[in-house]
Chains A and B, each alone.
Chain A
Amino acid sequence: MKEFVPAGADLELKNIRKEFPGFTAIEDLDLHIPAGEFFALLGPSGCGKTTTLRIIAGLDEPTSGQVLIGGQDVTFSKPHERQVNTVFQSYALFPHMTILENVAFGLRRRKIEDPLAKATDALNLVELGHVAQRRPQQLSGGQQQRVALARALVNRPSLLLLDEPLGALDLKLRRQMQIELKAIQMEVGLTFLHVTHDQEEAMDMADTVAVMNRGRIEQMGAPEVLYERPKTAFVSKFLGQSNLFVGEVAETSANSLSINVAGSKITVPKERAEKQQGKIAIGVRPEKTMFHRSKPAESSSVNLLGPGQIKDIRFTGVSNQYLIEVPNVGDITVFAQNVGISPVIELGEQVWVSFNVEHAFGLLDLPVGDEE
């Protein structure tokens, strides 16, 4: 049996394609995850992220392409031959074994010395040493989840796969587990690949996030970069919210370009625009959008729209969400910190909407419904 290194290995997917009868789950996926990184694969259900995970674990075979772990081609090796462990969405704890035996299972299969002591250590790491002799069905969901994590971690795999492991937990436990998971990853230094549909979870925990849609990776990068500069309409809407404006490029200057939206000029810096000509979409985040009761002075560094009407106000505690309908432009969402005394404005009032040119981003594609 190969020696397992107590450090992460890098993962490389080359041209992975997976076809099922009737549909293609993954289309030509290329991915490189450096050793020791916390990587999140984010996407809606059915986007192919779980299939990708199963291919890496060896539970499914790709139709074409290669899987390399630590530089070694493992595309056709069986799950038990890979230095990879998975924390399953269903936890998949063995009901006929004690918690301790569940955790020691992988160690025993590889004939590692002193499996019970190592399993006990792993259980202590997830603060469950006291339930070692119980059966899985006697534990709560959160506890089972941590046992599943300990059972995978104890093997010190070069790559740990997490298949929406927090999906079944309630919000409070979920937040707590996110913090613990991140702390454990920092402590053990393994490569984590976390599959999730929760964008907050992905941004909070991962060093790098890849947003997946319809079997492809739409964009990949640090959470800040993804949020600040989404490249596609899907990413801009899936990772946080966005106000998108679509129009033909009307004006181009040395470092900016503008589109015309129902008589208003919307400008984006050239270096923040993925596409420089034709019909393009420009977006801005709702929290970087402001509204004004009176028309502000026009400026070349500010995009101004309006007047429009306040259509909806949603009070969410720390911030308020306003929905403003601007004729011929559509609905614009504005998030404003709840710093004054609510309400600052009434439904139906007339307002102008503005945002800084430097906060705008130009997309590569157009939102659904605006495609040519």
Chain B
Amino acid sequence: MAIAAFGSSQPAKTSGSAAKRAGVVAWVLLLPGLLYLTMFFMVPLVSLLVTSVMAPDPTGAIGVFNYGFDTQAYAHVTVDYLPQIMRSFGYALVATIVALFISYPLAYFVGIRLRTHPLIQKLTLTLVIAPFFISFLLRTIAWKQIFADDAPAMTFVRGALHLDATFHFLGTPGAVVWGLVYNFIPFMTLPLYTSLERLDLRLLEAAGDLYATPAAVFRRITLPLTMPGVISGTLLTFIPITGDYVNASRDFLGSPSTSMIGNMVQADYLQNQDYPSASALSAVLMAIILVIVTIYVKRAGTEDLL
């Protein structure tokens, strides 16, 4: 729809041939993007949906399915994997909120307080994205070592908090959320930084001049004007976290009791060879995210700021 609007909105104003040329140029410029989306998004998506409604082979052979329209995979995943679905969105919600509360003050400090020191500002920003220089898996493994029951850190924590020797952190929901927050914090911080960095500080001064206390300045001016950053930051963390399968995996920070949707998709696809169930679960995840994001963006009401 957006493409149509862009390609055909001009002709009404300009003369016929010029308009036609502008339309052609628009389509030519859009072509690489359209091709890319078709090949790497539309085709796999259709393939996914087709696979999700495939029927098991009548012989009962494992990993063999025939084309058809069988919705039993959907019934199976929505009933049997409900705990994992709920857990995924629960972990994602908690991790996103924790990440927001850590990132906003950080982004505020870097984007506003450090404006007078551009060099330190750039260096701090580099530190925010520095974890990206090391592989995602390595970083998560590192946390696994730190949280290991016999690791010095855990020995210290047990001693400091007077916990008994059976206390462990690795494999608990806390460890998984910890890993999720840690791994996704740059995706929250960067959009927040971008909107805070271009916030007009004169507006904050004007609000203070108009009797707003520092808390009121934040609530009435700073926060509403940086809402676009909050929205994109929360979306960029919440959506990938719901589909994450590394942190919650038993090979990393999780245990069987912390499995998320991603872990079930992985298990169904690679171990059980139940391709329709893996596809159906992916489709369900996508549908839920779509609904949540739509409601969220509508409710946030920041269309005129985006």
Asked if A88 meets B211 with Cβ closer than 8 Å, knowing A96-B224, A96-B225, A109-B216, the reply is no
Evaluate contact between A92 and B211: CB separation under 8 angstroms: no
Any A CB within 8 A of the CB of B159: no
Q: How far is the CA of A109 from the CA of B218 in the complex (A)?
A: 13
In the assembled complex, which residues on chain B have CB atoms less than 8 Å from the CB atom of A183? none
Evaluate contact between B203 and A92: CB separation under 8 angstroms: yes
Evaluate contact between A109 and B221: CB separation under 8 angstroms: no
Within 8 A of A (CB), among B214-272: 216, 220-221, 224-225
In the assembled complex, which residues on chain A have CB atoms less than 8 Å from the CB atom of B224? 96
| Total interface residues in chain A, CB < 8 Å | 23
Any A CB within 8 A of the CB of B297: no
Any A CB within 8 A of the CB of B213: yes
Provide the main secondary structure of the chain B interface. Answer: helix
Any B CB within 8 A of the CB of A315: no
Any B CB within 8 A of the CB of A86: yes
Any A CB within 8 A of the CB of B207: yes
Any A CB within 8 A of the CB of B298: no
Query: How near does chain B come to A20, taking the closest CB pair, in angstroms?
Result: 12
Evaluate contact between B211 and A80: CB separation under 8 angstroms: yes
Evaluate contact between B212 and A105: CB separation under 8 angstroms: yes
Any B CB within 8 A of the CB of A75: no
Any A CB within 8 A of the CB of B209: yes
Evaluate contact between B209 and A59: CB separation under 8 angstroms: yes
Interface residue from A58, A59, A105 paired with B210 (Cβ < 8 Å): A105
Q: How far is the CA of A217 from the CA of B135 in the complex (A)?
A: 63
Any B CB within 8 A of the CB of A110: yes
Evaluate contact between B208 and A151: CB separation under 8 angstroms: no
How does the 8 Å CB contact mask read for B178-216 relative to A, with 1 for contact and 0 for none? Answer: 000000000000000000000010110111111111001
Evaluate contact between B208 and A59: CB separation under 8 angstroms: yes
Q: Pick the most buried of B202, B205, B210, B304: most chain A CB atoms within 10 A of its CB.
A: B210
Evaluate contact between A80 and B209: CB separation under 8 angstroms: yes
Any B CB within 8 A of the CB of A94: yes
Any A CB within 8 A of the CB of B161: no
Interface pairs A-B: 8 shortest CB-CB: A92-B206, A106-B210, A109-B211, A79-B208, A92-B202, A80-B211, A86-B209, A109-B212
Known: A92-B205, A95-B225, A105-B220. 16 other contacts (CB 8 A): A58-B208, A58-B209, A80-B212, A88-B205, A90-B202, A92-B200, A92-B202, A94-B206, A95-B203, A96-B304, A105-B207, A109-B211, A110-B211, A151-B210, A152-B210, A155-B210
